[in-house]
Amino acid sequence: MLTILIKIGYLDFQKMLIRFDLLKSAIAAIGDAEPYVRASSVSAIAAASPVPDLWEHINCDFDVAAGCLSILQNDGEALARRAAVKALTLATQAGHFP
């Protein structure tokens, strides 16, 4: 649902994500003990990466590339690693990484 709302451009929803630091909550959940929570957290970051304002909001507090690479190298759960690959792919497609 989050992915759909972000991608189709609900500006008020995007502003709410920033205003109430909801994406920062997703970043905080990356270290959760539950694999599904970690994967969902990274998926939220992936969904936000194509939107410039959301990307700036996320990337100012969290190095997305380093965080996703850490998950790929260290997380034992395929669900979290898959979400990290998707986040890196979407961020790269959006032109965030040289």
Q: What is the pTM of this model?
A: 0.81
- Let me know: does 8 contact 14? Beta carbons within 8 Å: no
**Do the domain assignments include residue 70?**
yes
Digit-coded pLDDT (tens) for 33-78: 999 999 999 998 888 888 888 888 888 878 889 999 999 999 999 9
- Let me know: does 74 contact 31? Beta carbons within 8 Å: no
Residue with tokens 């929803």: 13
**Do the domain assignments include residue 47?**
yes
**Do the domain assignments include residue 98?**
no
pLDDT of residue 3: 57
**Do the domain assignments include residue 69?**
yes
Domain that holds residue 7: 2-93
**Do the domain assignments include residue 38?**
yes
The domain tally of the chain equals 1
